[in-house]
Structure 1
Amino acid sequence: MTPEIFLSKIKELPEEWEPNHVGSNVLAPLFSYILTEPVVYNQGREILTNKLLSLTLSMARKHAPYYSELIPDKNDWQVDQLDALPMIDKSELYTHHSNILSDVTTFGFVTFTTGTTNQAPLLIERSQEEQLYLQNFFSILQSDALKSKKLKPLGIVEGSMNHGAVLRLPGIGYNFMIELTKDYGVIRTAWLLQNKFNFNGIENKVSHMNTTVMGLSYLHQYLTENNIEIPSGQLKSITIFGWPVPKSRRKAFEAYFKVPIHDNYSMSEMFGGAKYCQECDGYHFDPFVVPELIDLETNKQIKTGTGELVLTPLFPFTQRFVLIRYRTGDLIDVNKATCNKGILVYRFRGRLKRCVKVAPYIYFGEAEVAKSIDAITELNRAPSGFHIFKDNDKNNWALFKMIKSGDTIEIQAELKSNPIETPTTALNVEKQIYNHILNELPESTTHWIKSNPQKFKITLKPPFSVKERDYWNL
Structure 2
Amino acid sequence: MSDHPRDEFRTQLLNHTMRFAAAYVPAYGEVAYRCLSDVHALAQLPSLPILKKSDILMRPEAFRHISMEPHLIQHTSGTSGQILHVHRSKEELAAIESFFSKSDEPTDKTTPVIISILGSTTDAIQTPAPAVGQVFRLNLRDPTWRSRIQDVVRAPWEYVEGTHHARPAVIVGLESDLRVLTALLRECSFDFSSASISSLITSGDVITRRLRRYYESTWRAPLFDQYGLSEIFGSCNQCGVCGHLHPDPHVIMEVVNPISSEPVSDGVGIAVFTTLAPFVQCQPFIRYWSGDLVEISEVSCPVDLLGFRLLGRLYKSVSLPGLTGSGIVLSAIEAYDALDDFSEIASSGMFKWLWEIKDHSQLGHLKFDLRMDSDRGSHTLVATIETRFTPHLYPEQSESLKFRIRDALCKRSGSLRESIQAGHMSLRINLKPPGSIDSFMPDMVE
Distance 1:338 1:198 in 2: 39
1:267 deviates by: 0.9
CA contact (8 A) 1:358 1:409 kept: no
CA contact (8 A) 1:111 1:165 kept: yes
1:268 deviates by: 0.8
Q: What's 2:44 paired with?
A: 81
The unaligned stretches of length 5 or more in structure 2 are: none
1:159 deviates by: 6.4
The unaligned stretches of length 5 or more in structure 1 are: 1-10, 12-40
- One-letter amino acid of the structure 1 residue matched with residue 28 of structure 2: Y
Q: What's 2:63 paired with?
A: 100
Structure 2 CA distance for partners of 1:216 and 1:435, relative to 1, 3 Å: farther
CA contact (8 A) 1:382 1:471 kept: no
Greater mean alpha carbon deviation, residues 395-404 or residues 448-457: 448-457
CA contact (8 A) 1:244 1:264 kept: no
Q: Report the TM-score when normalising by structure 1.
A: 0.80
Identical residues among aligned pairs (%): 23
1:71 deviates by: 4.6
Distance 1:115 1:307 in 2: 23
1:211 deviates by: 0.6
1:172 deviates by: 4.8
1:381 deviates by: 0.7
1:272-283 alignment, distance < 5 Å: 272-277=234-239, 281-283=243-245
Matched, 1:165 2:125: yes
Q: What's 1:379 paired with?
A: 345
Matched, 1:197 2:167: no
Structure 2 CA distance for partners of 1:225 and 1:84, relative to 1, 3 Å: same
Matched, 1:296 2:267: no
Matched, 1:414 2:414: no
Structure 2 CA distance for partners of 1:471 and 1:354, relative to 1, 3 Å: closer
Partner of 1:380, secondary structure, is coil
Matched, 1:364 2:326: no
1:2-81 alignment, distance < 5 Å: 43-69=4-30, 70-72=33-35, 74=37, 77-81=40-44
CA contact (8 A) 2:270 2:293 kept: yes
Distance 1:156 1:373 in 2: 31
CA contact (8 A) 1:230 1:257 kept: yes
Q: Deviations over 1:51-89 (max 9, x none)?
A: 211111111111222212225363652122112212221
- One-letter amino acid of the structure 1 residue matched with residue 429 of structure 2: I
Structure 2 CA distance for partners of 1:272 and 1:188, relative to 1, 3 Å: farther
Distance 2:160 2:141 in 1: 28
Distance 1:454 1:320 in 2: 48
CA contact (8 A) 1:396 1:471 kept: no
Q: Deviations over 1:296-336 (max 9, x none)?
A: 23222232232222111222222222111111111222233
Distance 2:124 2:420 in 1: 37
Q: Report the TM-score when normalising by structure 2.
A: 0.84
Q: What's 2:429 paired with?
A: 458
Partner of 1:299, secondary structure, is coil
Partner of 1:316, secondary structure, is coil
Matched, 1:448 2:419: yes
1:397 deviates by: 1.7
1:393 deviates by: 0.4
Q: What's 2:369 paired with?
A: 401
Partner of 1:74, secondary structure, is helix
The alignment's C-alpha RMSD in Å is 3.3
Greater mean alpha carbon deviation, residues 308-317 or residues 71-80: 71-80
1:436 deviates by: 2.9
Q: What's 1:249 paired with?
A: 211
Structure 2 CA distance for partners of 1:134 and 1:208, relative to 1, 3 Å: farther
Greater mean alpha carbon deviation, residues 242-251 or residues 42-51: 42-51
CA contact (8 A) 1:159 1:165 kept: no
Distance 2:214 2:197 in 1: 16
Greater mean alpha carbon deviation, residues 401-410 or residues 236-245: 236-245
Q: Deviations over 1:14-65 (max 9, x none)?
A: xxxxxxxxxxxxxxxxxxxxxxxxxxx9633322222211111111111222
CA contact (8 A) 2:118 2:141 kept: no
Q: Deviations over 1:165-207 (max 9, x none)?
A: 3355513554343455798886565564356336235667882
Residue of structure 2 aligned with 1:306, choices 268, 273, 278 = 268
Q: What's 1:345 paired with?
A: 307
CA contact (8 A) 1:376 1:432 kept: no
Distance 2:185 2:427 in 1: 40
Distance 1:231 1:250 in 2: 18
1:81-160 alignment, distance < 5 Å: 81-103=44-66, 107-117=70-80, 119-140=81-102, 146-148=105-107, 150=109, 152-158=111-117
Structure 2 CA distance for partners of 1:187 and 1:72, relative to 1, 3 Å: farther
CA contact (8 A) 2:115 2:138 kept: yes
Distance 2:310 2:224 in 1: 16
Partner of 1:292, secondary structure, is strand
Structure 2 CA distance for partners of 1:149 and 1:75, relative to 1, 3 Å: farther
